[in-house]
Amino acid sequence: MKKMSNIYESAANTLGIFNSPCLTKVELRVACKGISDRDALSKPDPCVILKMQSHGQWFEVDRTEVIRTCINPIFSKLFTVDFYFEEVQRLRFEVHDISSNHNGLKEADFLGGMECTLGQIVSQRKLSKSLLKHGNTAGKSSITVIAEELSGNDDYVELSFSARKLDDKCIVWDWDSNGKHDFIGEFSSTFKEMRGAMEGRQVQWECINPKYKAKKKNYKNSGIVILNQCKIHKMHSFLDYIMGGCQIQFTVAIDFTASNGDPRNSCSLHYIHPYQPNEYLKALVAVGEICQDYDSDKMFPAFGFGARIPPEYKVSHDFAINFNEDNPECAGIQGVVEAYQSCLPKLQLYGPTNIAPIIQKVAKSASEETNTKEASQYFILLILTDGVITDMADTREAIVHASHLPMSVIIVGVGNADFSDMQMLDGDDGILRSPKGEPVLRDIVQFVPFRNFKHASPAALAKSVLAEVPNQVVDYYNGKGIKPKCMSEYESSRTLAP
């Protein structure tokens, strides 16, 4: 019989789910509570089946062992799944009563199910939900899922050596200039041996030249090599920070300049069609749907720029689209969509297209976050714009400043403008510099034109713009030497009692 992991891979390949190499795998532990079947006199023999959604279809990934006559089972079987931050990975856990005489599934054996995303599980580390049976809760039964990253070792080792009494060979500038290096000798060691230097004591080896050793009877060595220091630098992963309690703070900024066209006109990029969302809404929902799993309060600040706003109708480049400057947050991605739709008739689309003010606004929040010296909040700013920006110098300055902060900027170009100037902000074509020549500390900008994804699913757009975020988060915190928050609490929370 094929191994389950092979079945999973072949199913995934057939359905074309993953086309990028998986860098992170997650182990899921499962337990249930109170799953007695009210119709049955005996206790159930429960088993949990894990399904994953692809193209609207559910397919089985794996299943736990069957635990005989148990209403509060803690399963020993672990589910291993590939984790992709940039995708919405929908999971379904089904609890079935598997009697000893058959392994097939019948409708009568279904004890309840729970649906969630993998993002929800890893961001909460321990997710407990009621089991649902045909749309209703299955009594007082619940299921608990605990996530743990299945990690390799990404740590790196720093070694510093010195030497004494090495054989006298070439003068320094000789080997540097003509490249003819003279062999002095060699030694071999193990990392276990080198770790001795971590306790503060020196570890040393004789440097041996095999030719001299064979020729000279009284040959001892060609010098001594000393390891002065051995340091192990712990490299934390994206999931270490997320599971340690780091929240992704998602902010959206929308372009309301006149070049979008009158929203009442069906040709406008802001036209609200009764059945078909416009490009602004498609991009917002695609990216927001993923980020929302990593923000516990699900409140998202949403801003607009390039419009004249009531009551004075002065031009603003960083106004709250709910018109509440004291609290620009909207409840959920749906709240952002509703605020966007209701603000459109009240605005006077204007210009120019300045995005530096909104980058500076989010950077101010990110800057306040740095005072905590903790990995508490990482900011993602999604800017949706229809045109070439007019404050390029200020924007470059703002991005260079932001590259020192816990934030990333995603820019989606909507419509058919020439966006060639915008590519410069995305550091893929060379290092972005401020007008004064200061380079970005980290590449934090991802720019894509929406038209590249016009004939693809919104998920493809989200995947493209969010794929770099985990590395950007890790680069920032590891670069600052900031460890994941609550790691000790995370370690102690790996208990499965629901």
Full pLDDT tens readout for the chain, 498 residues? 334 444 444 444 444 444 445 578 999 999 999 987 555 567 889 999 999 998 889 999 999 999 999 999 999 999 999 999 999 999 999 999 987 555 566 656 889 999 999 999 999 999 999 999 877 766 789 999 999 998 655 667 878 888 888 777 675 454 555 556 778 888 888 888 887 777 777 788 889 888 888 888 888 888 888 888 887 777 789 999 999 999 999 999 999 999 999 999 999 999 998 888 999 999 999 999 999 999 999 999 999 999 999 999 999 999 999 999 999 999 999 999 999 999 999 999 999 999 999 999 999 999 999 998 899 999 999 999 998 899 999 999 999 999 999 999 999 999 999 888 888 888 766 788 999 999 999 999 999 999 999 888 888 999 999 999 999 999 999 889 899 986 545 444 445 555
CB-based contact 47:98 (threshold 8 Å): yes
Write the DSSP symbol of residue 345.
Answer: G
Instruction: Report the candidate in 368, 292, 356, 357 with the shortest Cα–Cα distance to residue 330.
Output: 292
Task: List residues bridging with 300 in a β-sheet.
Answer: 330
Instruction: Report the candidate in 75, 71, 67 with the shortest Cα–Cα distance to residue 98.
Output: 67
CB-based contact 145:24 (threshold 8 Å): no
Q: Find how far residue 78's CA is from the centre of its chain.
A: 23
Q: Give the Cα separation of 197 and 327 in Å (integer).
A: 55
Q: Give the Cα separation of 331 and 335 in Å (integer).
A: 5
H/E element, 30: strand 24-33
Q: Report the half-sphere exposure of 168 (CA within 13 A, side-chain side).
A: 0
Q: Give the Cα separation of 35 and 349 in Å (integer).
A: 57
- Cα–Cα distances in Å, from 236 out to 16, 97, 132, 368? 30, 40, 37, 23
What pTM, to 2 d.p., does this model score?
Answer: 0.79
CB-based contact 101:64 (threshold 8 Å): no
Q: Give the Cα separation of 419 and 387 in Å (integer).
A: 7
